[in-house]
Structure 1
Amino acid sequence: MPTYQTLLAQSGLDRSDATALLFHLTGHGRAWLIAHDRDDVPDDLAQRFAELAARRRAGEPVAYLVGEREFYSLMFAVTPDVLIPRPDTELIVDLALERITVAQPAPVLDLGTGSGIIAVTVAQQRPLAQVTAVDVSAAALAVAQANGARHAPQVQFVLSDWFSALSPQRFDLILSNPPYIERDDAHLAQGDLRFEPRGALTDEADGLAHIRTIIDNAPHWLTPDGWLLFEHGYDQGLASRDLLTEAGYRDVQTWQDLAGLDRVSGGLAPKPAAE
Protein backbone atom coordinates (compact mmCIF):
# COMPACT_ATOMS: atom_id res chain seq x y z
CA MET A 1 0.00 0.00 0.00
CA PRO A 2 1.62 3.31 -1.06
CA THR A 3 1.98 6.33 1.17
CA TYR A 4 0.76 9.75 0.06
CA GLN A 5 4.38 10.71 -0.53
CA THR A 6 5.06 7.79 -2.86
CA LEU A 7 1.70 8.19 -4.58
CA LEU A 8 2.64 11.71 -5.61
CA ALA A 9 6.21 10.78 -6.54
CA GLN A 10 5.13 7.90 -8.77
CA SER A 11 2.21 9.64 -10.46
CA GLY A 12 4.17 10.78 -13.50
CA LEU A 13 2.66 14.25 -13.07
CA ASP A 14 3.93 17.68 -12.28
CA ARG A 15 3.87 18.04 -8.48
CA SER A 16 1.29 20.83 -8.54
CA ASP A 17 -1.07 18.80 -10.73
CA ALA A 18 -0.68 15.69 -8.59
CA THR A 19 -1.32 17.55 -5.34
CA ALA A 20 -4.36 19.29 -6.85
CA LEU A 21 -5.86 15.91 -7.69
CA LEU A 22 -5.08 14.60 -4.23
CA PHE A 23 -6.56 17.65 -2.52
CA HIS A 24 -9.69 17.13 -4.58
CA LEU A 25 -10.01 13.44 -3.65
CA THR A 26 -9.24 13.81 0.05
CA GLY A 27 -10.91 17.14 0.73
CA HIS A 28 -7.77 18.17 2.60
CA GLY A 29 -5.20 20.87 1.89
CA ARG A 30 -1.46 21.29 1.93
CA ALA A 31 -1.02 21.37 5.72
CA TRP A 32 -2.84 18.06 6.12
CA LEU A 33 -0.79 16.43 3.39
CA ILE A 34 2.47 17.55 4.98
CA ALA A 35 1.37 16.07 8.30
CA HIS A 36 0.21 12.79 6.73
CA ASP A 37 2.56 12.31 3.79
CA ARG A 38 3.90 9.03 5.22
CA ASP A 39 0.45 7.58 5.96
CA ASP A 40 -0.79 4.67 3.89
CA VAL A 41 -3.29 5.57 1.17
CA PRO A 42 -6.60 3.62 1.25
CA ASP A 43 -6.96 1.31 -1.74
CA ASP A 44 -10.10 2.98 -3.11
CA LEU A 45 -8.51 6.44 -2.96
CA ALA A 46 -5.34 5.17 -4.62
CA GLN A 47 -7.43 3.69 -7.43
CA ARG A 48 -9.38 6.88 -8.00
CA PHE A 49 -6.14 8.88 -7.96
CA ALA A 50 -4.61 6.52 -10.53
CA GLU A 51 -7.61 7.00 -12.82
CA LEU A 52 -7.45 10.81 -12.60
CA ALA A 53 -3.67 10.80 -13.00
CA ALA A 54 -3.97 8.74 -16.18
CA ARG A 55 -6.48 11.21 -17.60
CA ARG A 56 -4.18 14.09 -16.72
CA ARG A 57 -1.20 12.39 -18.35
CA ALA A 58 -3.37 12.12 -21.47
CA GLY A 59 -3.70 15.89 -21.39
CA GLU A 60 -7.10 16.44 -19.78
CA PRO A 61 -7.07 19.75 -17.86
CA VAL A 62 -6.88 19.59 -14.07
CA ALA A 63 -9.77 22.05 -13.81
CA TYR A 64 -12.09 19.63 -15.60
CA LEU A 65 -10.84 16.68 -13.53
CA VAL A 66 -11.54 18.41 -10.23
CA GLY A 67 -14.53 20.42 -11.51
CA GLU A 68 -13.48 23.86 -10.31
CA ARG A 69 -10.95 26.67 -10.69
CA GLU A 70 -10.22 29.77 -8.64
CA PHE A 71 -10.78 33.19 -10.19
CA TYR A 72 -10.54 36.54 -8.43
CA SER A 73 -10.26 34.69 -5.08
CA LEU A 74 -13.58 32.93 -5.72
CA MET A 75 -13.98 29.24 -6.54
CA PHE A 76 -15.95 28.57 -9.73
CA ALA A 77 -17.42 25.32 -10.97
CA VAL A 78 -16.18 24.38 -14.43
CA THR A 79 -17.10 21.61 -16.85
CA PRO A 80 -16.03 20.80 -20.43
CA ASP A 81 -18.99 22.97 -21.52
CA VAL A 82 -17.13 26.15 -20.54
CA LEU A 83 -13.68 27.66 -20.84
CA ILE A 84 -11.28 27.25 -17.95
CA PRO A 85 -10.95 30.57 -16.07
CA ARG A 86 -7.59 32.23 -16.63
CA PRO A 87 -5.82 35.01 -14.70
CA ASP A 88 -5.68 37.19 -17.84
CA THR A 89 -9.44 37.70 -17.62
CA GLU A 90 -9.12 39.34 -14.20
CA LEU A 91 -8.03 42.49 -16.07
CA ILE A 92 -11.48 43.08 -17.57
CA VAL A 93 -13.01 42.65 -14.11
CA ASP A 94 -10.59 45.22 -12.68
CA LEU A 95 -11.49 47.66 -15.45
CA ALA A 96 -15.21 47.09 -14.89
CA LEU A 97 -14.94 47.67 -11.14
CA GLU A 98 -13.09 50.94 -11.77
CA ARG A 99 -16.17 52.15 -13.65
CA ILE A 100 -18.79 51.18 -11.07
CA THR A 101 -18.94 52.53 -7.52
CA VAL A 102 -20.08 50.32 -4.66
CA ALA A 103 -23.17 52.49 -4.21
CA GLN A 104 -24.09 52.55 -7.91
CA PRO A 105 -26.99 50.36 -9.15
CA ALA A 106 -25.43 50.25 -12.61
CA PRO A 107 -26.94 48.03 -15.31
CA VAL A 108 -24.18 45.72 -16.61
CA LEU A 109 -24.22 43.17 -19.43
CA ASP A 110 -21.81 40.26 -19.86
CA LEU A 111 -21.90 38.78 -23.36
CA GLY A 112 -20.88 35.14 -23.81
CA THR A 113 -20.65 34.57 -20.08
CA GLY A 114 -19.44 30.95 -20.19
CA SER A 115 -18.87 29.86 -16.59
CA GLY A 116 -20.00 33.30 -15.46
CA ILE A 117 -16.69 34.44 -14.03
CA ILE A 118 -16.95 38.04 -15.27
CA ALA A 119 -20.62 38.63 -14.46
CA VAL A 120 -20.57 36.83 -11.13
CA THR A 121 -17.36 38.44 -9.94
CA VAL A 122 -18.55 41.93 -10.84
CA ALA A 123 -21.87 41.29 -9.07
CA GLN A 124 -20.10 39.84 -6.03
CA GLN A 125 -17.84 42.89 -5.80
CA ARG A 126 -20.62 45.39 -6.62
CA PRO A 127 -23.80 43.96 -5.07
CA LEU A 128 -25.99 46.87 -6.20
CA ALA A 129 -25.04 46.45 -9.86
CA GLN A 130 -27.84 45.04 -12.02
CA VAL A 131 -25.89 42.36 -13.87
CA THR A 132 -27.28 40.40 -16.81
CA ALA A 133 -25.28 37.54 -18.31
CA VAL A 134 -26.03 35.88 -21.65
CA ASP A 135 -24.71 32.86 -23.50
CA VAL A 136 -25.82 30.99 -26.60
CA SER A 137 -25.01 27.63 -24.96
CA ALA A 138 -27.64 26.24 -22.59
CA ALA A 139 -25.05 23.92 -21.07
CA ALA A 140 -22.66 26.79 -20.38
CA LEU A 141 -25.47 28.91 -18.97
CA ALA A 142 -26.34 26.13 -16.51
CA VAL A 143 -22.76 26.22 -15.19
CA ALA A 144 -22.91 30.01 -14.92
CA GLN A 145 -26.22 29.85 -13.07
CA ALA A 146 -24.73 27.45 -10.54
CA ASN A 147 -21.82 29.81 -9.96
CA GLY A 148 -24.19 32.72 -9.68
CA ALA A 149 -26.27 30.90 -7.06
CA ARG A 150 -23.08 30.31 -5.09
CA HIS A 151 -21.57 33.78 -5.18
CA ALA A 152 -24.02 36.37 -6.55
CA PRO A 153 -27.64 35.16 -6.78
CA GLN A 154 -28.81 38.56 -8.02
CA VAL A 155 -27.30 37.99 -11.49
CA GLN A 156 -29.88 37.43 -14.24
CA PHE A 157 -29.04 34.81 -16.86
CA VAL A 158 -30.46 34.81 -20.38
CA LEU A 159 -30.08 32.26 -23.17
CA SER A 160 -29.21 34.49 -26.11
CA ASP A 161 -27.08 34.74 -29.22
CA TRP A 162 -25.36 37.96 -28.21
CA PHE A 163 -28.08 40.64 -27.92
CA SER A 164 -30.85 38.80 -29.79
CA ALA A 165 -33.01 37.60 -26.87
CA LEU A 166 -32.64 40.67 -24.66
CA SER A 167 -35.56 42.99 -24.03
CA PRO A 168 -34.95 46.63 -25.01
CA GLN A 169 -32.80 48.30 -22.34
CA ARG A 170 -29.59 50.26 -21.87
CA PHE A 171 -26.44 49.35 -19.97
CA ASP A 172 -23.76 51.49 -18.34
CA LEU A 173 -21.24 48.77 -19.04
CA ILE A 174 -21.06 45.98 -21.60
CA LEU A 175 -18.37 43.35 -21.05
CA SER A 176 -17.32 40.35 -23.09
CA ASN A 177 -14.67 37.68 -23.46
CA PRO A 178 -15.77 36.46 -26.89
CA PRO A 179 -14.24 33.68 -29.02
CA TYR A 180 -11.28 35.45 -30.61
CA ILE A 181 -8.81 32.78 -31.76
CA GLU A 182 -8.38 32.49 -35.53
CA ARG A 183 -9.78 29.36 -37.17
CA ASP A 184 -6.39 27.93 -38.20
CA ASP A 185 -4.43 28.89 -35.09
CA ALA A 186 -2.14 25.99 -34.13
CA HIS A 187 -2.81 26.57 -30.43
CA LEU A 188 -6.29 25.08 -30.83
CA ALA A 189 -4.65 21.66 -31.14
CA GLN A 190 -2.33 22.15 -28.16
CA GLY A 191 -2.53 21.89 -24.37
CA ASP A 192 -5.77 22.53 -22.54
CA LEU A 193 -7.37 24.12 -25.61
CA ARG A 194 -7.76 20.63 -27.13
CA PHE A 195 -10.36 19.85 -24.45
CA GLU A 196 -12.17 23.19 -24.19
CA PRO A 197 -15.34 23.94 -26.20
CA ARG A 198 -14.18 25.03 -29.65
CA GLY A 199 -17.12 27.39 -30.08
CA ALA A 200 -15.98 29.35 -27.04
CA LEU A 201 -12.44 29.66 -28.41
CA THR A 202 -12.71 30.51 -32.10
CA ASP A 203 -15.13 32.34 -34.38
CA GLU A 204 -14.10 29.96 -37.21
CA ALA A 205 -12.90 33.06 -39.06
CA ASP A 206 -10.20 35.68 -38.54
CA GLY A 207 -10.67 35.98 -34.77
CA LEU A 208 -12.43 39.34 -35.08
CA ALA A 209 -15.86 38.26 -36.35
CA HIS A 210 -17.59 38.26 -32.95
CA ILE A 211 -15.69 41.36 -31.88
CA ARG A 212 -17.09 43.16 -34.93
CA THR A 213 -20.62 42.01 -34.08
CA ILE A 214 -20.30 43.27 -30.52
CA ILE A 215 -18.76 46.59 -31.53
CA ASP A 216 -21.41 47.20 -34.21
CA ASN A 217 -24.39 46.35 -32.00
CA ALA A 218 -23.35 47.63 -28.58
CA PRO A 219 -24.18 51.32 -29.27
CA HIS A 220 -27.88 50.40 -29.40
CA TRP A 221 -27.61 48.98 -25.88
CA LEU A 222 -25.28 51.43 -24.15
CA THR A 223 -26.25 54.49 -22.15
CA PRO A 224 -24.83 57.77 -23.56
CA ASP A 225 -21.68 57.50 -21.43
CA GLY A 226 -21.61 53.73 -21.18
CA TRP A 227 -18.46 51.68 -21.72
CA LEU A 228 -17.82 48.68 -23.94
CA LEU A 229 -14.90 46.51 -22.80
CA PHE A 230 -13.85 43.20 -24.36
CA GLU A 231 -10.98 40.76 -24.05
CA HIS A 232 -8.99 39.79 -27.14
CA GLY A 233 -5.77 38.15 -28.27
CA TYR A 234 -2.35 39.62 -27.56
CA ASP A 235 -1.97 40.64 -31.23
CA GLN A 236 -5.47 42.08 -31.71
CA GLY A 237 -5.12 45.38 -29.86
CA LEU A 238 -4.50 47.56 -32.90
CA ALA A 239 -7.26 45.93 -34.95
CA SER A 240 -9.68 46.28 -32.02
CA ARG A 241 -8.89 49.96 -31.60
CA ASP A 242 -9.32 50.54 -35.32
CA LEU A 243 -12.74 48.86 -35.28
CA LEU A 244 -13.83 50.87 -32.25
CA THR A 245 -12.64 54.14 -33.77
CA GLU A 246 -14.32 53.43 -37.11
CA ALA A 247 -17.58 52.75 -35.25
CA GLY A 248 -17.39 56.12 -33.50
CA TYR A 249 -16.46 55.05 -29.96
CA ARG A 250 -14.78 57.66 -27.81
CA ASP A 251 -11.74 57.43 -25.53
CA VAL A 252 -10.69 54.23 -27.30
CA GLN A 253 -7.96 52.38 -25.41
CA THR A 254 -6.19 49.06 -25.03
CA TRP A 255 -5.01 47.76 -21.66
CA GLN A 256 -2.20 45.28 -21.03
CA ASP A 257 -2.23 42.20 -18.84
CA LEU A 258 0.38 41.33 -16.20
CA ALA A 259 2.68 40.02 -18.92
CA GLY A 260 2.57 43.41 -20.67
CA LEU A 261 0.52 42.06 -23.58
CA ASP A 262 -2.52 43.73 -25.13
CA ARG A 263 -5.52 41.99 -23.55
CA VAL A 264 -8.59 44.28 -23.27
CA SER A 265 -9.82 47.08 -25.52
CA GLY A 266 -12.81 49.35 -25.26
CA GLY A 267 -14.30 52.78 -25.44
CA LEU A 268 -17.18 55.02 -24.53
CA ALA A 269 -20.42 54.79 -26.47
CA PRO A 270 -20.46 56.75 -29.72
CA LYS A 271 -22.28 60.06 -29.67
CA PRO A 272 -25.74 59.87 -31.23
CA ALA A 273 -25.73 60.73 -34.96
CA ALA A 274 -27.73 63.92 -34.37
CA GLU A 275 -24.87 65.33 -32.34
Structure 2
Amino acid sequence: MKSKTTYREVLKWASSFLETCKREPIAAEILLRERLNWSKTDIMLHLNEEMPSDVKHQLLQDVSNHGSGIPIQQLLGYCWFYDRKFKVTKDTLIPRPETEEIVDIFLKSTSTEQEKTVLDIGTGTGIIAITLKKERPLYEVTATDISSKALEVAQENATTLEADVRFLEGDLTNPVKTETFDVILSNPPYISNDEISYMDESVLHYEPHLALFAENNGLAMYQRLAKELPAILNPGGEIVLEIGFKQGEKVQKLFQEAFPLAEVTIKKDMSGNERLIQVKAK
Protein backbone atom coordinates (compact mmCIF):
# COMPACT_ATOMS: atom_id res chain seq x y z
CA MET A 1 0.00 0.00 0.00
CA LYS A 2 1.41 3.39 -0.95
CA SER A 3 2.46 5.70 1.84
CA LYS A 4 -0.12 8.40 1.10
CA THR A 5 -3.62 6.99 0.91
CA THR A 6 -7.14 8.26 1.42
CA TYR A 7 -9.70 6.93 3.86
CA ARG A 8 -11.55 5.45 0.89
CA GLU A 9 -8.50 3.57 -0.38
CA VAL A 10 -7.47 2.22 3.01
CA LEU A 11 -11.01 1.09 3.83
CA LYS A 12 -11.33 -0.59 0.45
CA TRP A 13 -8.11 -2.52 1.01
CA ALA A 14 -9.00 -3.39 4.61
CA SER A 15 -12.47 -4.63 3.66
CA SER A 16 -11.04 -6.83 0.91
CA PHE A 17 -8.44 -8.21 3.30
CA LEU A 18 -11.10 -9.15 5.84
CA GLU A 19 -13.16 -10.83 3.14
CA THR A 20 -10.19 -13.05 2.25
CA CYS A 21 -9.98 -13.95 5.95
CA LYS A 22 -13.69 -14.91 5.92
CA ARG A 23 -14.59 -11.98 8.16
CA GLU A 24 -17.31 -9.40 7.57
CA PRO A 25 -15.84 -6.60 5.39
CA ILE A 26 -17.90 -3.96 7.22
CA ALA A 27 -15.76 -4.64 10.31
CA ALA A 28 -13.04 -2.37 8.88
CA GLU A 29 -15.37 0.62 8.90
CA ILE A 30 -16.72 -0.28 12.34
CA LEU A 31 -13.21 -0.44 13.80
CA LEU A 32 -12.28 2.89 12.24
CA ARG A 33 -15.43 4.61 13.46
CA GLU A 34 -15.05 3.29 17.00
CA ARG A 35 -11.37 4.26 17.24
CA LEU A 36 -12.11 7.79 16.03
CA ASN A 37 -15.50 8.09 17.74
CA TRP A 38 -16.99 8.93 14.35
CA SER A 39 -20.44 8.43 12.87
CA LYS A 40 -21.11 7.03 9.41
CA THR A 41 -21.59 10.59 8.25
CA ASP A 42 -18.10 11.49 9.48
CA ILE A 43 -16.67 8.65 7.42
CA MET A 44 -18.46 9.87 4.31
CA LEU A 45 -17.20 13.43 4.81
CA HIS A 46 -13.57 12.28 5.06
CA LEU A 47 -13.47 9.56 2.39
CA ASN A 48 -11.37 11.51 -0.08
CA GLU A 49 -8.99 12.95 2.50
CA GLU A 50 -5.59 11.49 3.27
CA MET A 51 -5.66 9.19 6.28
CA PRO A 52 -3.11 10.23 8.94
CA SER A 53 -0.31 7.70 9.41
CA ASP A 54 -1.17 6.96 13.05
CA VAL A 55 -4.81 6.30 12.16
CA LYS A 56 -3.78 4.05 9.28
CA HIS A 57 -1.33 2.14 11.46
CA GLN A 58 -4.01 1.50 14.10
CA LEU A 59 -6.57 0.40 11.52
CA LEU A 60 -4.19 -1.97 9.76
CA GLN A 61 -3.21 -3.47 13.09
CA ASP A 62 -6.87 -3.88 14.08
CA VAL A 63 -7.78 -5.41 10.73
CA SER A 64 -4.87 -7.85 10.92
CA ASN A 65 -5.85 -8.91 14.45
CA HIS A 66 -9.50 -9.28 13.54
CA GLY A 67 -8.55 -11.24 10.44
CA SER A 68 -6.68 -13.67 12.69
CA GLY A 69 -9.86 -14.23 14.70
CA ILE A 70 -9.86 -11.73 17.56
CA PRO A 71 -13.41 -10.36 17.99
CA ILE A 72 -13.93 -6.64 17.39
CA GLN A 73 -15.25 -6.18 20.92
CA GLN A 74 -12.07 -7.59 22.47
CA LEU A 75 -9.88 -5.46 20.23
CA LEU A 76 -11.76 -2.37 21.39
CA GLY A 77 -12.24 -3.59 24.95
CA TYR A 78 -15.93 -2.78 24.91
CA CYS A 79 -19.25 -3.39 23.18
CA TRP A 80 -22.49 -1.43 22.82
CA PHE A 81 -25.67 -2.78 24.38
CA TYR A 82 -28.91 -0.82 24.58
CA ASP A 83 -26.98 2.33 23.60
CA ARG A 84 -24.54 1.94 26.49
CA LYS A 85 -20.87 1.05 26.41
CA PHE A 86 -19.90 -2.07 28.38
CA LYS A 87 -16.40 -3.26 29.07
CA VAL A 88 -15.65 -6.79 27.83
CA THR A 89 -12.61 -9.01 28.39
CA LYS A 90 -11.53 -12.55 27.57
CA ASP A 91 -13.21 -13.58 30.84
CA THR A 92 -16.68 -12.50 29.70
CA LEU A 93 -19.05 -13.62 26.98
CA ILE A 94 -19.45 -11.03 24.25
CA PRO A 95 -23.09 -9.84 24.32
CA ARG A 96 -25.13 -10.84 21.26
CA PRO A 97 -27.81 -8.81 19.47
CA GLU A 98 -30.28 -11.58 20.33
CA THR A 99 -29.83 -10.84 24.02
CA GLU A 100 -30.63 -7.18 23.39
CA GLU A 101 -33.85 -8.29 21.70
CA ILE A 102 -34.76 -10.32 24.76
CA VAL A 103 -34.21 -7.40 27.12
CA ASP A 104 -36.27 -5.23 24.79
CA ILE A 105 -39.14 -7.73 24.74
CA PHE A 106 -39.18 -7.85 28.53
CA LEU A 107 -38.99 -4.08 29.01
CA LYS A 108 -41.86 -3.45 26.60
CA SER A 109 -44.09 -5.60 28.80
CA THR A 110 -43.30 -3.65 31.98
CA SER A 111 -43.94 -0.20 33.41
CA THR A 112 -41.44 2.34 34.71
CA GLU A 113 -43.67 2.79 37.75
CA GLN A 114 -43.42 -0.81 38.93
CA GLU A 115 -41.25 -1.91 41.83
CA LYS A 116 -39.85 -5.42 41.39
CA THR A 117 -37.11 -7.61 42.79
CA VAL A 118 -35.09 -8.94 39.89
CA LEU A 119 -32.44 -11.67 39.61
CA ASP A 120 -30.04 -12.05 36.68
CA ILE A 121 -28.35 -15.48 36.74
CA GLY A 122 -24.99 -15.80 35.00
CA THR A 123 -24.59 -12.06 34.53
CA GLY A 124 -21.21 -12.04 32.72
CA THR A 125 -20.51 -8.41 31.80
CA GLY A 126 -23.63 -7.40 33.72
CA ILE A 127 -25.45 -6.20 30.61
CA ILE A 128 -28.89 -7.55 31.52
CA ALA A 129 -28.83 -6.54 35.19
CA ILE A 130 -27.37 -3.09 34.54
CA THR A 131 -29.67 -2.35 31.60
CA LEU A 132 -32.74 -3.29 33.63
CA LYS A 133 -31.64 -1.07 36.52
CA LYS A 134 -30.98 1.88 34.20
CA GLU A 135 -34.26 1.45 32.32
CA ARG A 136 -36.31 0.64 35.43
CA PRO A 137 -34.75 2.56 38.35
CA LEU A 138 -37.34 1.28 40.84
CA TYR A 139 -36.21 -2.31 40.34
CA GLU A 140 -34.08 -3.90 43.05
CA VAL A 141 -31.59 -5.88 40.95
CA THR A 142 -29.32 -8.75 41.99
CA ALA A 143 -26.92 -10.56 39.66
CA THR A 144 -24.95 -13.79 40.14
CA ASP A 145 -22.09 -15.45 38.33
CA ILE A 146 -19.78 -18.36 39.07
CA SER A 147 -16.78 -16.46 37.67
CA SER A 148 -15.11 -13.96 39.98
CA LYS A 149 -13.30 -12.40 37.01
CA ALA A 150 -16.56 -11.86 35.16
CA LEU A 151 -18.06 -10.27 38.28
CA GLU A 152 -15.13 -7.85 38.48
CA VAL A 153 -15.95 -6.68 34.95
CA ALA A 154 -19.67 -6.49 35.74
CA GLN A 155 -19.04 -4.42 38.87
CA GLU A 156 -16.78 -2.06 36.92
CA ASN A 157 -19.51 -1.64 34.29
CA ALA A 158 -22.09 -0.93 36.98
CA THR A 159 -19.84 1.66 38.60
CA THR A 160 -19.08 3.36 35.29
CA LEU A 161 -22.75 3.44 34.30
CA GLU A 162 -23.89 4.38 37.82
CA ALA A 163 -26.19 1.40 38.23
CA ASP A 164 -26.96 0.19 41.74
CA VAL A 165 -26.81 -3.58 41.22
CA ARG A 166 -25.89 -6.18 43.83
CA PHE A 167 -23.41 -8.77 42.52
CA LEU A 168 -22.95 -12.15 44.19
CA GLU A 169 -20.48 -14.90 43.34
CA GLY A 170 -21.76 -18.46 43.11
CA ASP A 171 -23.23 -21.21 40.96
CA LEU A 172 -26.69 -20.36 39.55
CA THR A 173 -29.07 -19.75 42.49
CA ASN A 174 -26.72 -20.82 45.31
CA PRO A 175 -25.97 -17.25 46.47
CA VAL A 176 -29.70 -16.41 46.84
CA LYS A 177 -31.25 -19.63 48.14
CA THR A 178 -32.92 -17.85 51.06
CA GLU A 179 -34.42 -15.07 48.93
CA THR A 180 -37.31 -14.74 46.48
CA PHE A 181 -37.77 -12.60 43.37
CA ASP A 182 -40.52 -11.21 41.18
CA VAL A 183 -38.52 -11.58 37.97
CA ILE A 184 -35.70 -14.00 37.11
CA LEU A 185 -33.72 -13.68 33.90
CA SER A 186 -30.85 -15.74 32.56
CA ASN A 187 -28.76 -16.30 29.47
CA PRO A 188 -27.12 -19.57 30.58
CA PRO A 189 -24.63 -21.71 28.67
CA TYR A 190 -26.68 -23.68 26.14
CA ILE A 191 -24.38 -24.91 23.38
CA SER A 192 -23.93 -28.66 23.24
CA ASN A 193 -20.40 -30.02 23.43
CA ASP A 194 -21.22 -31.91 20.24
CA GLU A 195 -21.44 -28.57 18.42
CA ILE A 196 -17.89 -27.47 19.18
CA SER A 197 -16.63 -28.55 15.76
CA TYR A 198 -19.18 -26.23 14.11
CA MET A 199 -18.27 -23.15 16.15
CA ASP A 200 -16.39 -20.17 14.76
CA GLU A 201 -12.75 -20.30 15.82
CA SER A 202 -12.91 -16.76 17.16
CA VAL A 203 -15.57 -17.85 19.64
CA LEU A 204 -13.71 -20.99 20.67
CA HIS A 205 -10.38 -19.23 21.17
CA TYR A 206 -11.46 -15.91 22.61
CA GLU A 207 -14.58 -16.45 24.71
CA PRO A 208 -14.92 -18.39 28.00
CA HIS A 209 -16.17 -21.92 27.42
CA LEU A 210 -17.76 -21.88 30.87
CA ALA A 211 -20.27 -19.33 29.57
CA LEU A 212 -20.92 -21.16 26.28
CA PHE A 213 -21.16 -24.93 26.63
CA ALA A 214 -23.40 -27.21 28.67
CA GLU A 215 -23.81 -30.96 29.08
CA ASN A 216 -26.87 -33.01 28.13
CA ASN A 217 -27.11 -31.61 24.61
CA GLY A 218 -26.90 -28.08 25.96
CA LEU A 219 -29.82 -28.56 28.37
CA ALA A 220 -27.95 -29.11 31.65
CA MET A 221 -28.34 -25.53 32.96
CA TYR A 222 -32.06 -25.43 32.08
CA GLN A 223 -32.58 -28.73 33.87
CA ARG A 224 -30.95 -27.32 36.98
CA LEU A 225 -32.83 -24.03 36.76
CA ALA A 226 -36.14 -25.85 36.36
CA LYS A 227 -35.44 -27.57 39.69
CA GLU A 228 -34.10 -24.53 41.54
CA LEU A 229 -36.29 -21.63 40.40
CA PRO A 230 -39.66 -22.74 41.84
CA ALA A 231 -38.25 -22.19 45.34
CA ILE A 232 -37.18 -18.59 44.71
CA LEU A 233 -39.86 -17.20 42.35
CA ASN A 234 -42.61 -15.19 44.00
CA PRO A 235 -46.27 -16.05 43.27
CA GLY A 236 -47.27 -14.35 40.04
CA GLY A 237 -43.61 -13.95 39.12
CA GLU A 238 -41.95 -14.19 35.73
CA ILE A 239 -38.97 -16.05 34.29
CA VAL A 240 -37.24 -15.05 31.05
CA LEU A 241 -34.60 -17.37 29.58
CA GLU A 242 -32.54 -17.11 26.42
CA ILE A 243 -32.38 -20.44 24.55
CA GLY A 244 -30.69 -22.01 21.55
CA PHE A 245 -32.76 -21.87 18.37
CA LYS A 246 -33.43 -25.64 18.45
CA GLN A 247 -34.21 -25.94 22.16
CA GLY A 248 -37.64 -24.35 22.44
CA GLU A 249 -39.89 -27.37 22.90
CA LYS A 250 -37.50 -29.18 25.26
CA VAL A 251 -36.96 -26.20 27.53
CA GLN A 252 -40.66 -25.36 27.43
CA LYS A 253 -41.47 -28.88 28.59
CA LEU A 254 -38.95 -28.67 31.43
CA PHE A 255 -40.49 -25.49 32.81
CA GLN A 256 -44.08 -26.53 32.24
CA GLU A 257 -43.37 -29.56 34.42
CA ALA A 258 -41.63 -27.37 37.01
CA PHE A 259 -44.48 -24.82 37.00
CA PRO A 260 -47.63 -26.86 36.14
CA LEU A 261 -50.02 -23.90 36.54
CA ALA A 262 -47.85 -21.35 34.74
CA GLU A 263 -48.12 -20.05 31.20
CA VAL A 264 -44.90 -21.17 29.48
CA THR A 265 -44.38 -19.76 26.00
CA ILE A 266 -41.70 -19.76 23.31
CA LYS A 267 -40.92 -16.44 21.63
CA LYS A 268 -38.95 -15.85 18.43
CA ASP A 269 -36.32 -13.25 17.61
CA MET A 270 -36.34 -10.89 14.63
CA SER A 271 -34.79 -13.61 12.46
CA GLY A 272 -37.66 -15.96 13.22
CA ASN A 273 -35.60 -18.27 15.44
CA GLU A 274 -36.87 -19.56 18.77
CA ARG A 275 -34.88 -17.45 21.23
CA LEU A 276 -36.83 -17.01 24.46
CA ILE A 277 -38.76 -19.00 27.02
CA GLN A 278 -41.14 -16.93 29.13
CA VAL A 279 -42.73 -18.35 32.27
CA LYS A 280 -45.58 -16.45 33.87
CA ALA A 281 -46.43 -18.06 37.18
CA LYS A 282 -49.82 -18.01 38.87
- TM-score w.r.t. length of structure 1: 0.90
CA change 1:199–1:64 in 2 (3 A) is same
Q: Choose which of 261, 270, 277 in structure 2 pairs with 1:258.
A: 270
Out of 82, 85, 94, the residue aligned to residue 75 of structure 1 is 85
* CA–CA separation in structure 2 for the residues paired with 1:171 and 1:152: 23
Q: Which residue of 2 aligns with 1:168?
A: 178
Name which of 115, 132, 138 aligns with 1:128: 138
| Cα distance change of structure 1 residues 223 and 152 upon mapping to structure 2, 3 Å threshold | farther
Q: Which letter maps to 1:229?
A: V
Change (3 A) 1:252 1:167: closer
**What value does the CA root-mean-square deviation take over the aligned residues?**
2.0
Which structure 2 residue ranges, 5 or more long, are not aligned?
19-23
The residue type equivalent to 2:203 in the other structure is L
1:213 aligned to 2:216? Answer: no
Provide the rounded CA distance (Å) in 2 between the counterparts of 1:38 and 1:22.
Answer: 15
Structure 2 counterpart of 1:96, one-letter code: F
In structure 2, the CA distance between the partners of 1:95 and 1:79, relative to structure 1 (3 Å rule), is: same
* Closer/same/farther in 2, CA of residues 152 and 97 from structure 1, 3 Å limit: farther
Amino acid in the other structure paired with 1:89: T
Distance 1:94 1:190 in 2: 27
Distance in 1 of aligned mates of 2:59 and 2:111: 46
| Structure 1: 4+ residue segments shifted above 6 A | none
Tell me what 2:118 maps to.
Answer: 108
Instruction: Tell me the SS of whatever aligns to 2:144.
Output: strand
Which runs of structure 2 are paired with 1:225-264 in the superposition (5 Å)?
225-249=236-260, 250-264=262-276
Q: Which segments of 5 or more consecutive residues in structure 1 lack a partner in the other structure?
A: none
Aligned-pair identity in percent equals 36
Alignment of 1:65 onto 2:68? no
What is the rounded CA distance, in whole Å, between the counterparts of 1:202 and 1:191 in structure 2? Answer: 14
Corresponding residue for residue 106 of structure 2? 96
Q: Distance in 2 between matches of 1:103 and 1:3?
A: 52
| 1:94, distance to aligned residue in structure 2 (A) | 3.1
How far residue 3 of structure 1 moved from its aligned partner, in angstroms, is 2.1
State the shift of 1:167 in Å: 6.1
Q: Displacement, 1:191?
A: 5.1
What one-letter code is carried by the residue in structure 2 that aligns with 1:160?
A: G
Structure having the higher helix fraction is: 2
Alignment TM-score, normalising by the size of structure 2? 0.88
Write the deviation string for residues 102-159 of structure 1: whole angstroms up to 9, x where unpaired: 1222000000011112111111111100011111112211222222223352111111
